[in-house]
Amino acid sequence: MWAEALRGRDRLRALPAGAPVALRVDKSPAGIALVLGALLSGRPALLPSATLPETVLGELLAATGCTWVVTPTGATEVPGAGRAAPAGTALVLTTSGSTGVPKAVPLPGAGIDAFTRWAAARFGVGRGTPVLSYAPLTFDLSLLDIWTTLAAGGTAVLVDEDEALHAGRLAAAVRDNRVEVVQAVPMALALLASAGGSYGSVRHAIATGDALPPGGVTAMAAAFPGARLHNLYGCTETNDSLIHDIDPRRDADGPVPIGVPLPGVAARVVDAEGTEVTGPGTGELWVRTPFQGPGYLGGVRGGFDAGEPGWYRTGDLVRRRADGALVLLGRADSRVKVRGVAVDLAAVEAALAGHGEVVEAVVLAVPDPVGGRRLRGLARRAAGSALTTLDLRRHCAAVLPRGAVPSDLLIVDTALPRNTNGKLDRAAAAREHTPTLEGI
Contacts of 80 (CB under 8 A, 6+ apart): 62, 67
Model-level pTM? 0.79
Q: Does the pLDDT at position 388 exceed 80? A: yes
Task: Note the pLDDT of residue 240.
Answer: 95
The CATH number linked to 82 is 3.40.50.980
Asked whether residue 9 falls in the same domain as residue 33, the answer is: yes
Residue 429 lies in a domain: yes
Q: Does the pLDDT at position 344 exceed 80? A: no
Asked whether residue 124 falls in the same domain as residue 255, the answer is: yes
Asked whether residue 75 falls in the same domain as residue 130, the answer is: no
Residue 247 lies in a domain: yes
Contact between 343 and 372 under an 8 Å Cβ cutoff? The reply is no
Average pLDDT over residues 123-141: 96
Least confident window among 67-76, 90-99, 208-217: 90-99
Task: Note the pLDDT of residue 440.
Answer: 40
Please report which confidence band the pLDDT of residue 371 belongs to, taking 50, 70 and 90 as the band edges. Answer: low
Average pLDDT over residues 271-275: 82
Residue 311 lies in a domain: no
Q: Which of 284, 308, 333 is the last residue of a domain?
A: 333
Asked whether residue 82 falls in the same domain as residue 134, the answer is: no
Q: Does the pLDDT at position 299 exceed 80? A: no
Q: Which of 101, 120, 138 is the last residue of a domain?
A: 101
Q: Does the pLDDT at position 96 exceed 50? A: yes
Q: Which of 306, 333, 360 is the last residue of a domain?
A: 333
The CATH number linked to 154 is 3.40.50.12780
Asked whether residue 94 falls in the same domain as residue 132, the answer is: no
Task: Note the pLDDT of residue 231.
Answer: 98
Q: Does the pLDDT at position 335 exceed 80? A: no
Q: Is 174 helix (H, G, I), strand (E, B) or coil?
A: helix
Asked whether residue 72 falls in the same domain as residue 118, the answer is: no
Containing domain of residue 175, as a range?
110-264+318-333
Phi and psi of 342, rounded to 5°?
A: -75, 125
Please report which confidence band the pLDDT of residue 422 belongs to, taking 50, 70 and 90 as the band edges. Answer: low
Contact between 318 and 283 under an 8 Å Cβ cutoff? The reply is yes
Task: Note the pLDDT of residue 268.
Answer: 95
Helix axes 389-399, 345-353, angle to 10 degrees: 120
The rounded percent of the chain whose pLDDT value lies above 90 is 56
175 vs 97, more confident: 175
Give the CA radius of gyration of the chain.
22
Asked whether residue 49 falls in the same domain as residue 160, the answer is: no
76 vs 126, more confident: 126
Contact between 219 and 190 under an 8 Å Cβ cutoff? The reply is yes
Number of domains in the chain: 3
Residue 72 lies in a domain: yes
Residue 47 lies in a domain: yes
Residue 309 lies in a domain: no
The CATH number linked to 362 is 3.30.300.30
Residue 10 lies in a domain: yes
Phi and psi of 357, rounded to 5°?
A: -105, 10
Contact between 300 and 205 under an 8 Å Cβ cutoff? The reply is no
Asked whether residue 119 falls in the same domain as residue 260, the answer is: yes
Asked whether residue 115 falls in the same domain as residue 34, the answer is: no
Residue 347 lies in a domain: yes
Asked whether residue 323 falls in the same domain as residue 355, the answer is: no
Asked whether residue 87 falls in the same domain as residue 115, the answer is: no
Asked whether residue 84 falls in the same domain as residue 120, the answer is: no
Q: Give the range with max mean pLDDT: 96-105, 144-153, 267-276.
A: 144-153
